[in-house]
Amino acid sequence: MAAGSTKLRRKLFILDARVLAALDGLARERGVTVNELADDALRAYLKKHARPVTLRDALTQSARIIAANDPGRGRRKT
């Protein structure tokens, strides 16, 4: 969730026992919860597929669609 946001929703996932055990071990090693690991993984997955997580991300992404000032876009240097 966004920083300062307290609105949480709950969703259940069915995981294989071996996967859950591996996640639990990793969470203990890093000193975080399995929920925090899942949150980080899902954010990374959304970023990989160019899906915004927050409103700010969505606005930034929509503004970047027509980025006239980006180098390498538009006219080519020859």
69 touches 63 (CB < 8 A): no
Domain ranges, ordered by start, for the chain: 17-64
Structure tokens belonging to residue 46: 């959304």
The model carries a pTM of 0.62
Q: What are 3-29's pLDDT values in tens digits?
A: 555 678 888 989 999 999 999 999 999
Q: Which string of DSSP letters, residue by residue, matches 45-75?
A: HHHHTT--SSHHHHHHHHHHTT-TT-TTSSS
Q: What are 24-75's pLDDT values in tens digits?
A: 999 999 999 999 999 999 999 998 988 888 888 888 877 766 656 666 655 5
Separation of alpha carbons 63 and 61, rounded Å: 5
Q: Using DSSP, how many helices (H) and how many strands (E) does the chain show?
A: 3, 0
